[in-house]
Amino acid sequence: MVHTLYLKRLGLVSLAFASLAACSSPSIDSSNGDLQGKIILTGSSTVAPLASELGKRFEEDHPHVRVDVQTGGSSRGLADARSGQADIGMMSRDLAIDETDVTAYAVAKDGVAIVIHADNPITELSPEKIVEIYKGDVTQWETVGGNDTPISVVNKAEGRSTLEVFLKHFDLKNSEIKAQIIIGDNEQGIKTITGNPDAIGYVSIGAAENSIARGEPLKLLPLEGIEPSTASVQDSSFPLSRTLNFVTSGEPETLSKAFIDFAQSSEVHNIVEQQNFVPIDFSK
């Protein structure tokens, strides 16, 4: 008797577990077309705040969906998308020619500008001079028409997409660069340069514009005669820019596809701008 009662209870418990599992497993409820489940994004720390905000807006429209955003850098985003650890990888650079096993979906653009302290009298540097400064051939501001002070070169850490964009544009190798300071995220770069009148670095234009608007002593240098601004990045006239991408391995699932479509739609342009990036208009 006791035995059958025990078995009955066990059956009930396992039934409860089964129904729990059915609730939590990512699936599409096709009966009313409402999306359900969880999307995991990992990758670029630059894209992560934007993806979080996009996720929150998406969750408002689809209450049964959870969008979990994790960071770790573009390389991790690519690796996790490949391994299936993440549904969508986030990358703050374009795919390389040999990275054909994944598909990239552009969600925003971001310009990279050469920045110096606002008190520095320099107003423009030619690409050749920038290369000489970063290679350590020019070590004094005086040589390029500035103050009689040594230059503090700020470079990005290995693996950062901004570094790759910078190196590619100026045709440099990271091993050739002689930097005094190595930094990680954009904000850290801005803080390093606003705290040192002799520093030179390169950061995201959107983040730099935001800092200048808040009164931080930062100056953006024009590149090849073109003013760095969100406008010149938008019309692609500014030469140093990168694309912020979502990447998936193979064809994305229905849920991921819906989120990617949402992230590329014009209704999220205000979110993109709010996070200091440049929206891409796909209707053109």
Partner 1 sequence: MASKIFSQSSSKTWPDFLLLGATWTTAISITVIFLWVVLSIVGQGLGQLSLEFLLTEPMNAGRDGGIAPMLISTLLILVVCLAVALPLGLGTALLLAEFSVSDKRFGQWVRRSLDFLAGVPSIVFGLFGSVFFSKILGLGFSLLSGGLTLACMVLPLLIRATEEGLRSQPASYRQGAAALGLSKTTTLFKVLLPAALPGLMVGLVLSVGRALAETAALIFTSGYVDRFPASLLDSGRALSIHIFDLSMNVPGGDHNAAASALVLLALLLILNGLAAFISLRWSTKIK
- Give the binding site for partner 1 (CB under 8 A): 40, 45-46, 48-50, 52-53, 56, 68-72, 85, 184-188, 190, 206-207, 210-211, 214, 274-276
Identity of the amino acid at 249: S
The least distance separating partner 1 from the CB of residue 269, rounded to whole angstroms, comes to 15
The least distance separating partner 1 from the CB of residue 177, rounded to whole angstroms, comes to 22
The least distance separating partner 1 from the CB of residue 185, rounded to whole angstroms, comes to 4
The least distance separating partner 1 from the CB of residue 65, rounded to whole angstroms, comes to 12
The least distance separating partner 1 from the CB of residue 174, rounded to whole angstroms, comes to 21
Is the CB of 206 or the CB of 252 nearer to partner 1? 206
Is the CB of 54 or the CB of 151 nearer to partner 1? 54
User: Tokens for 177?
Assistant: 């660069």
Is 248 within 8 Å of 257 (Cβ atoms)?
no
Q: Which of 245, 264, 247 minimizes the C-alpha distance to 103? A: 247
Is the CB of 71 or the CB of 248 nearer to partner 1? 71
Q: What angle do CA 255, 271, 30 make, to 5 degrees?
A: 20
Is the CB of 140 or the CB of 210 nearer to partner 1? 210
DSSP string spanning 175-215? GG---SEEE-SHHHHHHHHHT-TTEEEEEEHHHHHHHHHTT
Structural element, H or E, at residue 7: helix 2-24
Is the CB of 23 or the CB of 231 nearer to partner 1? 23
* DSSP 8-state secondary structure symbol assigned to residue 45: T
Q: Which residues lie below 8 Å from residue 176, measured CB to CB, with a gap of 6+?
A: 134, 135
